[in-house]
């Protein structure tokens, strides 16, 4: 079964015109709800830009500075990136390390 879940604007975008993601920062109740939903997922399908947006959850220790954000960081684990190209080799290598750390091997489409 495939479940699609994402915070998007009415027109289907997750980033604003400048590429920023901050417009969708949830309040505490929403954050707990999203964390509970993510905890139930078996994997994620992301495009490269969304992966790069979510990368700090894997690499930035300051995102674990409170219980709420730490709980989300614990359940965020990427399995699949759908992309024609990774923007940089560094991003690709971070993805591969995260994928390997998070359990069963995912797969990447394109590089």
Residue 23, CA distances (Å) to 16, 20, 73, 94 in order: 7, 7, 19, 26
Classify residue 78: in a domain, yes or no.
yes
Classify residue 45: in a domain, yes or no.
yes
Residue 14, CA distances (Å) to 6, 11, 25, 110 in order: 8, 9, 11, 22
How many Å apart are CA 69 and CA 62, to the nearest integer?
Answer: 9
Number of domains in the chain: 1
Q: Which domain holds residue 47?
A: 25-109
Q: What's the pLDDT score for residue 78? A: 63
Q: What's the pLDDT score for residue 27? A: 87
Q: What is the model's pTM?
A: 0.61
pLDDT digits (tens, 9 = 90+) for 23-79: 667 889 988 998 898 887 767 777 777 777 788 887 889 989 999 999 988 888 765
Q: What's the pLDDT score for residue 70? A: 92
Q: What's the pLDDT score for residue 46? A: 74
Classify residue 71: in a domain, yes or no.
yes
111 three-class SS? coil
pLDDT band per the 50, 70, 90 thresholds, residue 13? low
Classify residue 16: in a domain, yes or no.
no
How many Å apart are CA 4 and CA 81, to the nearest integer?
Answer: 15
């Amino acid at each position: 079964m495939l479940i699609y879940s994402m915070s998007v604007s009415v027109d289907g975008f997750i980033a604003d015109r400048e590429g920023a993601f901050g417009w969708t920062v949830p309040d505490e109740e929403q954050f707990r709800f999203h964390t509970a939903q993510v905890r139930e997922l078996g994997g994620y399908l992301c495009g490269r830009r969304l992966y790069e947006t979510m990368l700090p959850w894997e690499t930035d220790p300051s995102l674990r500075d409170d219980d709420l954000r730490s709980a989300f960081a614990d359940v965020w684990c990427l399995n699949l990136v759908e992309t024609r190209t990774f923007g940089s080799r560094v991003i690709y290598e971070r993805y591969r390390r995260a994928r390997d750390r998070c359990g069963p091997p995912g797969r990447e489409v394109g590089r």
